[in-house]
Structure 1
Amino acid sequence: MPLSDRDRVLLDFEARWGRHGAAKEEAVREELALTPARYYQLLGRLVDDADALAYAPMLVHRLRRMREAQQTVAVTAPGPGVHRAAR
């Protein structure tokens, strides 16, 4: 299914803001009328969308790399109660 206007707005917003912490979250609320959690849910779905990739290839590739890096950290991080021995 082709990208909706909202999808394009989300991708354009992310391309402009990238990583900006609290200021970005406030802009999500004000400009998009979304909670940050909902924004990231919607953006996460777009990362796997072929039409999003065609619309914003550099952005989608960057978001995919970021997601993969987060997944790698989650998989390799010790679980709760696991402590590394001090040297």
Structure 2
Amino acid sequence: MCSSPRGYRGEVTLTDQDRAVLDIAGRAWAGPGAKERAIRERLGISPTRFYQLLNALLDDPEALAHAPVTVNRLRRTRDTHRTTR
């Protein structure tokens, strides 16, 4: 489920890309298009792929340990959207 590699002792570890995805997701953005531009420039991926990776990270305990405020906020948002569908 997580795109992260296995570490030395078999534990899941976050990649640099995973940490960058969480960093971008946790920031406030000034205007429309700024976040999408940052995704393309910093990560070299499409916004669609960014959101796929981010969604997988929301279920990753390592992501929760790394960025608990961001992960919990986005989990609440995701759960709210799921219940309204």
> What is the TM-score normalised by the length of structure 2?
0.77
| Aligned mates of 1:6, 1:38 — CA distance in 2 | 12
Query: Which protein has the bigger helix share?
Result: 1
> What are the within-5 Å matches in structure 2 for residues 50-69 of structure 1?
50-69=61-80
For residues 33 and 65 of structure 2, the distance between their equivalents in structure 1, rounded to whole angstroms, comes to 29
TM-score, reference length from structure 1: 0.76
Match of 2:35 in 1: 24
Aligned CA RMSD, in angstroms, stands at: 1.8
* Aligned twin of 1:37: 48
Aligned to 2:60: 49
The percent identity for this pair of structures is 47
Report what 2:83 is aligned to: 72
The count of residues paired between Structure 1 and Structure 2 equals 74
Gaps of 5+ in 1: 75-87
Are the aligned partners of 2:17 and 2:43 in contact in 1 as well (CA < 8 Å)?
Answer: no
